[in-house]
Amino acid sequence: MTTPYDILVIGGGPGGYVTAIRAAQLGFKTALVEREHLGGICLNWGCIPTKALLRSAEIFHYAKHPEAFGLKIEGKVTADPAAVVKRSRGVSAQLNGGVGFLLKKNKVDVIWGEAAITKVGEVTVSASKKPVVQPQNPIPKGVLGEGTYQAKHIIVATGARPRVLPGIEPDGKLIWTYFEAMVPTAFPKSLIVMGSGAIGIEFASFYHTMGADVTVVEVLPQIMPVEDAEISAHARKRFEKAGMKIMTSTKVTKVVKGADDVTCTLEDEKGNKTELKAERMISAVGVVGNIENLGLEKLGVKTDRGCVVTDGFGRTNVPGIFAIGDVAGPPMLAHKAEHEGVICVETIKGLHTHAMDKLMIPGCTYCHPQVASVGLTEAKAKDAGYTVKVGRFPFAGNGKAIALGEPEGLIKVIFDAKTGKLLGAHMVGAEVTELIQGYVVAMNLETTEEELMHTVFPHPTLSEMMHEAVLDAYGKVIHT
């Protein structure tokens, strides 16, 4: 039996390891249990490696169109799938080691294995059923592993996994999840992507840029359903102009596997059925929380639709048990998980904290063009009873965008007409995933339209469009 911990975190993803580090900083004796690899899905199979893949695709795109920038590249530009994947995995490996260093630096004990909460205040760790990436498998002597551990506070940060639709189960060969899509041995010539959320659209964008004939199938009326309809429509137009095929209000009802391809039966909202064949298919229909085999049911921890129910501070209905990150429900984003974990341990410490405000959490999709947003869409703002003022500014009116060769895009802002409160901001175009944080800061500071209009933005920058969009909402726009 080990010395009891103040806090034990189950799961070493971005939410889990940040929570553990912050807990240690606050003076808690802290441990973290991980069954496979530090950094979780985000660092190893999600956020980070996909950005590495998309960066390769971006450079490939520009290399194929050098004439647009007055350049000439002699010879044919080709992509090496193995090298592209190797670079992506290398980026993940580098950061994976960095997480281990940070935990050690902050004196967080890392326990390797699979955890189950046997009772309030007690966690049993068994040998992992997954191959442990770090430090190695089997666990070396002297490294914490199997055993029973005591902790005053247990924080579940086990993340999520791809949702599977009955009858369309991924097999790793013909039907992929993001795991297989991340490490192709070859780029398919044709691809069907089922689902147009951030994961689906990012992979659709990557494989299309790398030369695949891509068709995106979405059951809802618009792609990227959580985004503002106007922004989604702009992105769709760009995708289709580039050659991507998009089918909305359409569902996949059947998949037949061939020797080296799949044939999907598609049905639209009118009941019309068609068949579509492709070499590979990606299932990107969302994720579901990893709540199984943790002992939550036995302890009476409340769950809802595959996620643990919490109160905004990470507390569950069972004292001493907390949950943060994807397992605690949407939005299932790494930065939400990290911040949620900090709120949780600071609340345990007794510090003055604020419950997570999900409207303040930005969302980013790293396709080409990029999409980013925060707050309410125009439709949701109106549904909430607001009288709104809406401002827009096109990339075509911005000197920096034109100089970059990125003149297509849009910045859109939504204000409460009565108070000047910024309700939401939505963007599509080059580097908007970096720009969106300006509006996030403004919303957190409760900035009004007047303060934004009086703010000086540097020239020439893409950020000037953020200023112009605010001016447009109040009839003061200059450059359109």
In this predicted model, what pLDDT tens digit does every residue of 317-334 receive, in sequence order? 999 999 999 999 999 999
Whole-angstrom Cα distance, residue 315 to residue 356? 12
Residues 260 and 317 in one domain: no
Distance CA(99)–CA(280), nearest Å, equals 34
In a domain, 56, yes or no: no
Note whether residue 195 is domain-resident: yes
Task: Report the number of distinct structural domains present in the chain.
Answer: 3
Q: Mark whether 279 and 314 lie in a shared domain.
A: no
User: What pTM does this model have?
Assistant: 0.94
Answer whether residue 442 shows pLDDT above 50.
yes
Examine the fold and report which residue of 261, 285, 309 is the final residue of a domain before the chain moves on: 285
Mean pLDDT, range 94-116, rounded to an integer: 94
Q: What is the mean pLDDT of residues 284-293?
A: 95
Amino acid at 426: H
Q: Are residues 384 and 423 in the same domain?
A: yes
Is 438 part of a structural domain of the chain?
yes
* DSSP secondary structure letters along 322-386: EE-GGGG-SS--HHHHHHHHHHHHHHHHT-------GGG--EEE-SSSEEEEEE--HHHHHHTT-
What's the mean pLDDT in 404-418?
A: 97
> What is the pLDDT, as a whole number, of residue 2?
63
Domain boundary among 358, 388, 415: 358
Report whether pLDDT(466) > 70: yes
How would residue 136 be classed by pLDDT, with cut points 50, 70 and 90? very low
- pLDDT given for residue 97 in this prediction: 86
Same domain (yes/no): 196, 281: yes
Task: Supply the pLDDT for residue 377.
Answer: 98
CB atoms within 10 A of CB 60: 17
Q: pLDDT above 90 covers what percent of the chain? A: 92
Would you state the structure tokens that stand for residue 272, as one six-digit string?
Answer: 């019309």
pLDDT for residue 141: 57
Grade residue 96 by pLDDT with cuts at 50, 70 and 90.
confident
Judgement on whether residues 295 and 276 belong to the same structural domain of the protein: no
One-letter amino acid at 408 equals E
Q: Let me know if residue 80 belongs to a domain.
A: no
User: Among the residues of 213-310, which ranges form H helices?
Assistant: 229-242, 296-299
Domain limit, last residue, from 242, 262, 285: 285
Decide if pLDDT at 429 tops 80.
Answer: yes
Please state the separation of Cα 296 from the chain's center in Å.
26
Residue 133 confidence (pLDDT): 54
Report percent pLDDT > 70 for the chain. Answer: 97
Residue 323 lies in a domain: yes
| Distance, CA of 473 to CA of 478 (rounded, Å) | 12
Tell me the pLDDT band of 66, cut-offs 50, 70 and 90.
very high
The terminus-to-terminus CA distance of the chain in angstroms comes to: 70
pLDDT confidence bin for 131, thresholds 50/70/90: low
Instruction: Tell me if 342 sits within 8 A of 335, measured CB to CB.
Output: no
Looking at the structure, tell me whether residues 181 and 38 fall in a common domain. Answer: no
Answer whether residue 182 is part of any domain.
yes
Q: Is 229 within 8 Å of 220 (Cβ atoms)?
A: no
User: Is 459 designated active site?
Assistant: yes
Q: Are residues 186 and 157 in the same domain?
A: no
Mean model confidence pLDDT for the chain: 95
Domain-located, residue 214: yes
Tens digits of per-residue pLDDT, 366-396? 999 999 999 999 999 999 999 999 999 999 9
Q: Are residues 333 and 401 in the same domain?
A: no
Instruction: Give the mean model confidence (pLDDT) for residues 97-109.
Output: 94
Q: Are 17 and 115 in a shared domain? A: yes
Residue 1 has pLDDT above 70, yes or no: no
- For residues 330 and 202, state if they share a domain: no
Please tell me whether residues 281 and 301 are part of one structural domain: no
What is the span of the domain harbouring residue 394? 369-473
Would you tell me the crossing angle of helices 81-105 and 14-25 to the nearest 10 degrees?
20
- Is residue 307 located within the same domain as residue 266? no
Domain with 447 in it: what CATH number?
Answer: 3.30.390.30
Please check whether residue 79 is in contact with residue 61, taking contact to mean a CB–CB distance below 8 angstroms.
no
**Residue-wise pLDDT tens digits, 216-251:** 999 999 999 999 999 999 999 999 999 999 999 999
Whole-number Å distance between alpha carbons of 396 and 100: 45
Residue with tokens 């063009």: 369
Q: Which of 37, 335, 459, 479 does the annotation list as catalytic?
A: 459
| CATH code for position 238 | 3.50.50.60
Beta strands at 175-176 and 109-112: parallel, antiparallel or unpaired: unpaired
170, part of any domain: no
